[in-house]
Amino acid sequence: MSLAGKRVLVAIGGGIAAFKAVELVRELQRRGAKVRVVMTEAATHFVGAVTFAGITGEAAITDLWDPTYAGEVHVELGAWAEAIVVAPATANLLARAAHGLADDAVLATLAASDARVFFAPAMHSKMWRREATQEHTAKLVARGARMLGPTEGPLASGEVGEGRMLEPKELADALERALAPAERPWSGKRVLITAGPTHEAIDPVRYIANRSSGKMGFALAEAARTRGAEVTLVLGPVEAAPPVGVAVERVVSARDMHRAVMARALDSDLVIMAAAVADFRPKAAATEKIKKATGAPTLELEPNPDILADLGKARSGARPALVGFALETSNVLAEAERKRAAKGADMIVANAATALGANASEAWLVTDSGTEHIAAAPKTELAERILDAADRWVRP
Ligand code: CTP
């Protein structure tokens, strides 16, 4: 209940992402916020005011001229709110807010309120990149508003580009951080996290890989960022979008990942190797697609560099602290301890192989001071426990 008791006004603009405002209201309520809703007339074409009345228990304000409102409803709403989240914030809404217009319920409330204002832009990437939109955005930010997103992804037009509204959960997270700034014990600390699989090319269209989803690394990155750390994610090829607020460097092969990690690791306080690095690569990747007519090829493999082991050798003293993972099908604990010693790591997080791709899994944290068992926990929880255990090296 991280937003317990906070009074949040969700102001909905007229864009297709308006349907996500329903889930946003719910998510804020789940976190304990008191939520009210104000909508532009355009927004009501995408999602019904009745829906919001149903889930908030109060009328969603859509029309300043409604004679049932006694008094000045925009002033009352504006004074009630501690925070206003404009989601979706369309190009039109940003423009009108930047000019201080007050000709509908949303704009009049924004104009009348001293609350902190957060805009969640959502529009086609051409509209987002338009000079006018960027000027309006900059103006609003200069006056103290915060822009949450947009992010890159599939747009309503079917194209992919920058302009997609953040997901309700991401918006709620951002709001939570802004309104109830947690303690940031890792502020000033640098954390480097690898995630995802690596792809080892066989020819221009084929590769060797594994089933890593990147989820564990994402959960760690998010948890470290919430603790205030500056987080870099070195990310192998995955479908899912990485968390917001962390620097992302995308890589493909184990050798790319090795280079990216080595270039940054020694500046870090903590390196967590959550990536499932391919141990071997084809000795020579064919430059042309291998054709069926030439017959089944024999793949000759050669070893990839062991990134974690190289870090163990490269560091001088205890910095950066090194955390690795071991996914085992048998002898889980013995293997974890062997890898910890062999690679010079401070901690190995041992999982049974059933953890691959799963949301929850049992784990063991193997360090020099023994083994901590963690009963099946969601990856977000496991991430917190790993960081708790690493805290003694990050803040010696
Ligand atoms: N790792 C790495 N570089 C590699 C292989 C693994 O940095 N080339 C890291 C992984 O990110 C993980 C840890 O080392 O944090 C253990 O990975 P794992 O594949 O379990 O270890 P291996 O050394 O490959 O051991 P084995 O094949 O014997 O299980």
User: Is a pLDDT exceeding 60 seen at residue 261?
Assistant: yes
Please give the pLDDT value at position 66. 86
Section 304-330 average pLDDT: 95
| Residue whose tokens read 């084809």 | 282
Q: What residue ranges line ligand 1, CB within 6 angstroms?
A: 254, 273, 275, 277, 279, 304, 306-308, 324-327, 339
User: Is a pLDDT exceeding 70 seen at residue 182?
Assistant: no
Closest C-alpha residue for ligand 1 atom 21? 326
Please give the pLDDT value at position 241. 87
- pLDDT, one tens digit per residue, over 135-167 is 999 999 888 898 898 988 888 888 888 899 999
- Closest ligand 1 atom to the C-alpha of 279? 8
pLDDT higher at 211 or 381: 211
Section 9-35 average pLDDT: 97
Do 393 and 346 touch, CB atoms closer than 8 A?
yes
Please give the pLDDT value at position 360. 65
End-to-end CA, the chain: 31
Confidence of residue 375 (pLDDT cuts 50, 70, 90): confident
Please give the pLDDT value at position 80. 96
Among 304, 339, 346, 386, which residue has the most ligand 1 atoms within 8 Å of its CB, making it the best to mutate? Answer: 339
Please give the pLDDT value at position 255. 98
282 Cα–ligand 1 center, Å: 18
| Burial of 237: CB neighbours in 10 Å, binned 0-12, 13-18, 19+ | middle
Do 120 and 94 touch, CB atoms closer than 8 A?
no
Closest C-alpha residue for ligand 1 atom 24? 279
Section 36-43 average pLDDT: 98
User: Is a pLDDT exceeding 90 seen at residue 180?
Assistant: no
Out of 20-24, 249-253, 346-350, 380-384, least confident range: 380-384
335 Cα–ligand 1 center, Å: 11
182 Cα–ligand 1 center, Å: 34
Among 255, 273, 315, 351, which residue has the most ligand 1 atoms within 8 Å of its CB, making it the best to mutate? Answer: 273
Closest C-alpha residue for ligand 1 atom 9? 308
**CA–CA separation, 25 and 27 (whole Å):** 6
Section 60-82 average pLDDT: 90
**CA–CA separation, 20 and 25 (whole Å):** 9
User: Is a pLDDT exceeding 90 seen at residue 120?
Assistant: yes
User: Is a pLDDT exceeding 80 seen at residue 328?
Assistant: yes
Section 194-206 average pLDDT: 97
User: Is a pLDDT exceeding 70 seen at residue 237?
Assistant: yes
250 Cα–ligand 1 center, Å: 19
Confidence of residue 254 (pLDDT cuts 50, 70, 90): very high
- Closest ligand 1 atom to the C-alpha of 194? 11
Please give the pLDDT value at position 357. 60
pLDDT higher at 343 or 327: 343
Confidence of residue 292 (pLDDT cuts 50, 70, 90): very high
pLDDT higher at 252 or 357: 252
pLDDT higher at 329 or 349: 349
| Residue whose tokens read 């993972």 | 325
Please give the pLDDT value at position 353. 72
pLDDT higher at 212 or 21: 21
Section 261-271 average pLDDT: 97
User: Is a pLDDT exceeding 70 seen at residue 181?
Assistant: no
Catalytic residue among 210, 304, 331, 359: 210
- pLDDT, one tens digit per residue, over 339-372 is 999 999 999 999 887 656 666 678 999 999 999 9
- List the Cα angle 127/128/132 in 5-degree steps: 75
Section 314-326 average pLDDT: 95
Q: Give percent above pLDDT 90 in the chain.
A: 77
- Closest ligand 1 atom to the C-alpha of 325? 15
**359 has catalytic annotation:** no
326 Cα–ligand 1 center, Å: 7
Please give the pLDDT value at position 376. 74
Mean pLDDT of the chain: 93
The 3 state secondary structure assigned to the chain is CCCCCCEEEEEECCCHHHHHHHHHHHHHHHCCCEEEEEECCHHHHCCCHHHHHHHHCCCCECCCCCCCCCCCHHHHHHHHCCEEEEEEECHHHHHHHHCCCCCCHHHHHHHHCCCEEEEEECCCHHHHHCHHHHHHHHHHHHCCCEECCCEEEECCCCCEEEEECCCHHHHHHHHHHHHCCCCCCCCCCEEEEEECECCEEEECCEEECCCCCCHHHHHHHHHHHHCCCEEEEEECCCCCCCCCCCEEEECCCHHHHHHHHHHHHCCCCEEEECCECCCEEECCCCCCCCCHHHCCCCCCEEECCCHHHHHHHHCECCECEEEEEEEECCCHHHHHHHHHHHHCCCEEEEEEHHHCCCCEEEEEEEECCEEEEEEEEEHHHHHHHHHHHHHHHHCC
Please give the pLDDT value at position 154. 87
285 Cα–ligand 1 center, Å: 22
